[in-house]
Structure formats: C-alpha cells, structure tokens
Structure 1
C-alpha cells in the first residue's frame, strides 16, 4: 500500500494505491496518523482510485480517519472508490457515517 500525501491550506489529500488489506492497512494507518498529525487538517480527502482490493481493514482505516477528523473538528471525504471497495463499504453501511463520492 502506497500513500501520497498533499497538504495545502489545512486540506490534506491522501491518495492510496495498492491493496488495503490486513497487511497494507497496518502501514496505511501509521501513515494516515503521521500525515494528520503533521498537517492538522480541517478537511481530509481519502482518494481510493488506486486501491486494487479492500477488505474490512479498509473500513477500520476509514473509521479511524473519521474519528481523528472529528477530534480536529474537521471533515472527511472518501472519493473515487473502485467498485470492489464500494461493495465492501456499502455492505458495512459506511455511507451513513462518512461522505463518499
């Protein structure tokens, strides 16, 4: 799992590429935490266009991102979700908790 972070004006974009499974999510979660701590964003965008596979570990990462943004009084947007990942998110009802476009 690769994550490319771009930060400007308290907006943080994390572009994720690869498999967001148990192994990938562990490193991705660490990078997510470090990026949020460094940028202290008001808006976090997780771009999943490059995600080739996602399981429940990806759900945990998204919920952790949501939790961190709530602590910062910020917002989270998940965008460009591939079809397979979208099925996982829809099955878990994540769209009720997080904005997905």
Structure 2
C-alpha cells in the first residue's frame, strides 16, 4: 500500500494505491496518523482511486481516521472509491459516518 499526501490550506489529501488488506492497512494507518498530526487539517480527503482490493481492514482505517478528525472537529471525505471497495463500505454502512463522493 502506497500513500501520497498533499496538504493545502488545512485540507489534507491522501491518495492510496495498492491492496488495503490487513498488512497494507496496518502500515497505512501509521502513515495516515503521522500525516494528520503533521498537517492538523480541518478536512481529510481519502482518495481510493488506486486501491485494487479492500477488505474490512480498510474500514478500520477509515473509522480510525474519522475518530481522529472528529477529535479535531474536522471532517473526512472518501473519493474515487472503486466498485469492489464500495461494496465493502456499503455493507458496513460507512456512508452514514463519512461522506462518499
């Protein structure tokens, strides 16, 4: 799992690529937490365009990100979610907690 980060005007964009399985999500979560702590964003955008596979580990990453942003009174938006990952998110009801565009 690779992550590219861009931070502009209190908006942090994280672009994911690769498989977001147990191993990939565990490492990605550490990187996400470091990026959030460094940028202190008001808005966190998670771009899933490059995600080739996602299981429930991806849900855990999203929920942890949402919790961190909620503590900072910020928001989380998911963008470009591939069909397979979207089915996983829909089954878990993630759309009730974060915006999916």
TM-score range, shorter chain: over 0.9
TM value normalised by structure 1: 0.99
Show CA shifts across 1:36-90 (max 9, x none): 0000000000000000000000000000110010011111100100000000000
What stretches of structure 1 move > 2 A for 4+ residues in a row? none
| 5+ long unaligned stretches in structure 1 | none
Match status 1:84 vs 2:84: yes
Question: Whole-Å Cα distance in 2 between the matches of residues 26 and 90 of structure 1?
Answer: 21
Question: Whole-Å Cα distance in 2 between the matches of residues 74 and 98 of structure 1?
Answer: 11
- Map 1:12-91 onto structure 2 (within 5 A): 12-91=12-91
Equivalent residues, number? 101
Question: Whole-Å Cα distance in 2 between the matches of residues 26 and 54 of structure 1?
Answer: 12
TM value normalised by structure 2: 0.99
Question: Whole-Å Cα distance in 2 between the matches of residues 8 and 58 of structure 1?
Answer: 25
Question: Whole-Å Cα distance in 2 between the matches of residues 54 and 89 of structure 1?
Answer: 9
Question: Whole-Å Cα distance in 1 between the matches of residues 59 and 97 of structure 2?
Answer: 11
Question: Whole-Å Cα distance in 1 between the matches of residues 73 and 98 of structure 2?
Answer: 14
Question: Whole-Å Cα distance in 2 between the matches of residues 9 and 98 of structure 1?
Answer: 21
